[in-house]
Structure 1
Amino acid sequence: MRALTPALAVFALAAVASCSGAPDEDIPRRICGTKISPEITRPLIGRTGAFNEYSRLDNKSAQTAPCDLLLDEKPVMSFRFAWSSDQVDPMKYADAESTDSVSNLIEPRRTRDRYKSVVGDDGAMATVACEKAGESHFTLTMKLPDATKPDTQLRGDIEKFMTAYMNATVKEFGCRSR
Structure 2
Amino acid sequence: MIRRSKVAQMASLAIFMLCLPACGSQNIKIPASICETPVDPKLTAPLLKSTGELSEWHAAGWGEKGRSVCIISVDKTEALRLRFDWHTDTIDPMKYSSPNNSVTGLWEPRRMPHLADSATIGDDGSMATTRCKGRGKWHFTLALKVTRDRKIVHQPREIERFMRTYMPATMKTVGCTPP
Q: What TM-score bracket applies, with the shorter chain setting the length?
A: 0.7 to 0.9
Correspondent of 2:140 among 138, 141, 149: 138
Equivalent position SS for 1:105: coil
Specify the code of the residue in structure 1 equivalent to 2:111.
R
**Equivalent position of 2:67 in the other structure:** 64
User: Structure 1: how far apart are the matches of 2:93 and 2:50?
Assistant: 30
**Equivalent position of 1:48 in the other structure:** 51
1:46-67 alpha-carbon deviations (Å, 9 max, x no partner): 11222111102533x2220111
Q: Which runs of 4+ in 1 moved over 4 A?
A: 14-17, 131-135
| Contact in 1 for aligned 2:26/2:52 (Cα 8 Å) | no
Structure 1 unmatched ranges of 5 or more: none
**Equivalent position of 2:126 in the other structure:** 124
Specify the code of the residue in structure 2 equivalent to 1:87.
T
Q: What's the RMSD between the two structures over aligned residues?
A: 2.8
Identity of aligned residues (%): 36
**Equivalent position of 1:105 in the other structure:** 106
TM-score of the superposition, structure 2-length normalised?
0.78
| Contact in 2 for aligned 1:51/1:72 (Cα 8 Å) | yes
User: Structure 1: how far apart are the matches of 2:83 and 2:26?
Assistant: 25
Equivalent position SS for 2:171: helix
Equivalent position SS for 1:40: helix
Deviation, 1:125, is 0.5
**Equivalent position of 1:88 in the other structure:** 91
CA gap 1:150/1:164 in 2 versus in 1, 3 angstroms: same
Deviation, 1:114, is 3.0
Deviation, 1:22, is 8.7
Larger CA Rg, structure 1 vs 2: 2
Structure 2 unmatched ranges of 5 or more: 1-7
| Contact in 2 for aligned 1:62/1:133 (Cα 8 Å) | no
Deviation, 1:17, is 8.3
